[in-house]
Structures are given as structure tokens and as C-alpha cells.
Amino acid sequence: MTARLVLTAQPLTPEAFAPFGDVIAARGAADPINQGMGGRCNDLAQVDVTADGGRAAISVIRCIPEPLPIELRLMERHPLGSQCFIPLSGQRYVVVVAPAGSPPALADLRAFVCASHQGINYHRGVWHHPMLALDRECEFAEFHRAGPGTNCDEATLPGPVVVQLTG
Amino acid sequence: MTARLVLTAQPLTPEAFAPFGDVIAARGAADPINQGMGGRCNDLAQVDVTADGGRAAISVIRCIPEPLPIELRLMERHPLGSQCFIPLSGQRYVVVVAPAGSPPALADLRAFVCASHQGINYHRGVWHHPMLALDRECEFAEFHRAGPGTNCDEATLPGPVVVQLTG
């Protein structure tokens, strides 16, 4: 019998998320813009959407919240492009990721709890669980590849996994 | 002497904003996704970022709030690409736009107040005022063109203009 893995979601930081993608949030010194009324943190993500005739597209997803601890269902990856989500409902959320490559082993999984002012950009091919909402129904803007070809692979998890927020 | 124009910002809707760009928010029927735990409103915007060797990029801007009524400063346009802003701080904001083409006359200007769950995508060449924050310092994720060439034109306003929220 396979024991159930309990993953504890860590706070999202650019450094911890770097093996999987980019954090979209202001950081460091911002270049002045808008006649002194603002600043800009430029080019924060590896946007990779043009493979095999792809183009950049913008969609919106709605997510139904899931009770903690969350039972994971499967992992997916997009072999042809990066994928970015920005929260639109002022809500925190959870992402579960594993490195690009072979379908993930349980030991490869990492979970992050993301604040409402943070977006994430999965690098092309990075395994990730479908988006996990926590507190209420919420929406995300999605910046992604559109175009020909099959751009979603799924992998079953090798055993039962749940995510919690604190150890 | 030129009289001061007072623009009243209207609530942002996809229909009213259509001459200038796209509204990024859930609408209509969503396609089921994520094993029944969500839905997707697909391909909501004209993303136009590849002209003259351009590529898609993601940045973050910070905006200092401005007191109402807001005195407009200038208009700008991006001749080489579309530009999308998604609020990251759960805040409302104001956009001022005018149709692509010749530098705007005062009669061409339109102002919209946008809710915290709405993003906007300016179509390539559409004149717009630099982003206007209202209530507090706030941040936006920006999906935009990066690449060679000069991608920002500015135009002075033909007379003094202020924006207010209600008539």
C-alpha cells in the first residue's frame, strides 16, 4: 500500500520558484515611468509561445475553491509553450509543480502558496497541477500560447498526495 | 483661452471599450477545465506583439495614486504592439483613450473606470493616457511587446483636460 504524501505549501518567492518558472510581482528598483507617477520592473518572465506556429493569447479562467487538505488529481505540462496566471479576484492560491522532463515522482513535487499580488509563469514543459483556488471562486488572467499542435500532456501521480498550508 | 474639458469616466464594459481594445474578465459561457473544477473564457484579446522582430514580454508597473479630478498630462501610443494591463493590487483604476490615428482632439477622448477584476488590452496604435491609479499605490502586470524599434509616440493634449468619476 502506498502511503499518502502530505505536501506543505511554501510561500512563493522568485528564488524558490526559479526551477519551475517566474514570479510576476514588483521587485527591486523600478525604472521611472509615467512622468514620475510610477515605476516599471521590466521583462520579468521567460515568455515562450512561438514554437510550431504558436502565438501569444490572453484568456481568463474561473476556479472553484477546494477544501484543505487538497487531494491532488494529476499533473500536466505544456510542451509547446510557457503559461502565465495573474489573479483577478484579489485572492491567494496554491500551485504544485515538478521539473520539466519525465513524469514526476512524488519526491519531485513542490507546492507554493501564492499571494494575491503575485502571478506565476510556468516555463515550457514544467509539470504543474491544475490551478488550485482556496477561499472562494476566483478568476485568473492567463497569458499563454495558442496555435496548432497538442500542447497539453497529462501524467497520473504515482500515489496519493494532498497539499496543506502549514506543517 | 481654452476652456477646461471635464471628462467623466464611465464604467468599463467590453462593448464600450471595443473601439480601443479588449476587456480581460470572465464573460459568457466558460469551457469546462481542470476535471470539472473550473472554466475557461478563451482568447479574449487581440495580442499583437510580433511586428518588426517583436516578442511577447511580461513586466510589472507600480503607480502612484492621483487625486480626483485628475489633470491629464499627455497621450501615448505604441505603434508596434498591443499592451495589456492586469491589476495586481485588487484596485480600481482609470484609463483614458482615443482612437488610433492622428493625435487626438479633445472630442476624441473617452475615460473609463475599471474594476479590480478587469484587465484591459490596448490595441496597437490606440492613444491612451499613462495608467491612472486612484485610491492607493498599486501594481499591474503588463503583457506587452518587447523588441527593436521605437514603440512609444507621445502627443500633447490640445487643451486642459481633467477626469472625474461622476457627472
Mutation to test the B interface, candidates A31, A35, A37, A49, most B Cβ within 10 Å: A37
| Residue A45: closest C-alpha in chain B | B58
Mean pLDDT for the stretch of residues A25-34? 90
- B110-141 as b/e: b if 16+ CB within 10 A: bbbbbeebbbbbbbbbbbbbbbbbbeeebbbb
B-chain residues within 8 Å CB-CB of A34?
61, 63, 130-131
Render pLDDT for A35-44 as a digit per residue (tens, 0 to 9).
Answer: 999 999 999 9
- Residues in chain B closer than 8 A to A43 (CB atoms): 57-59, 146
Q: How far is A24 from chain B (nearest CA, A)?
A: 7
Q: What is the 3-state secondary structure of chain B?
A: CCCCEEEECEECCHHHHCCCEEEECCCCCCEEEHHHCEEEECCCCCCCCCHHHCEEEEEEEEECECCCCEECCCEEECCCCCEEEEECCCCCEEEEEECCCCCCCHHHCEEEEECCCCEEEECCCCEECCCEECCCCEEEEEEEEECCCCCCEEECCCCCEEEECCC
Nearest to B143 among A58, A90, A117 (CB): A58
**CB count in 10 Å sphere of residue B154:** 12
Instruction: Report the C-alpha gap between B107 and B96 in whole angstroms.
Output: 12
How far is residue A10's CA from residue B145's CA, in Å, rounded to a whole number?
33
User: Locate cell 509561445: which residue?
Assistant: A49
Report how far residue A101's alpha carbon sits from residue B106's, in angstroms, rounded to the nearest whole number: 56
Chain A's closest residue to B50, CA to CA, is A55
Q: How far is A47 from chain B (nearest CA, A)?
A: 6
Domain that holds residue B110: 5-165
CA distance B145 to B21: 15
Q: Do B76 and A100 contact (CB within 8 A), yes or no?
A: no
Cα separation, A126 vs A98, whole angstroms: 6
User: What string of pLDDT tens digits covers the 167 residues of chain B?
Assistant: 567 999 999 999 999 999 999 999 998 889 999 999 999 999 999 999 999 999 999 999 999 999 999 999 999 999 999 999 999 999 999 999 999 999 999 999 999 999 999 999 999 999 999 999 999 999 999 999 999 999 999 999 999 999 999 86
Q: What are the chain A neighbours of B26 within 8 Å (beta carbons)? A: 60, 62, 88, 139
With CA atoms as reference, the chain A residue closest to B88 would be A117
Q: Which residue of A has its CA nearest to B41?
A: A60
- Total tally of structural domains belonging to chain A: 1
pLDDT of A144 over the 70 cut: yes
Report how far apart, in Å, the C-alpha atoms of A5 and of each of A69, A111, A126, A161, B27 are.
11, 12, 21, 5, 38
Give A-chain residues touching B34 at CB under 8 angstroms: 61, 63, 130-131
Q: Residue B48: closest CA among chain A residues belongs to which residue? A: A56
> According to the model, what pLDDT value does residue B166 have?
84
> Which of A19-28, A57-66, B28-37, B91-100 has the weakest average pLDDT?
B28-37
User: What is the CATH classification number for the domain harbouring A85?
Assistant: 2.60.120.480
With a CB cutoff of 8 Å and minimum separation 6, the contacts of A104 are A75, A98, A127, A155, A157, A158
Residue type at A9 in one-letter notation? A
What was the pLDDT predicted at B150? 96
Amino acid B3: pLDDT: 78
CB contact under 8 A, B130 and A34: yes
To test the contact with chain A by mutation, choose from B40, B59, B71, B94 the residue with the greatest count of A C-beta atoms within 10 A, namely B59
Please give the model's pTM, rounded to 2 decimal places.
0.96
C-alpha cell at B128: 491612451
Q: Edge-to-edge strand order for the sheet containing B83-87?
A: A31-33, A38-41, B55-63, B138-146, B83-87, B119-122, B21-24
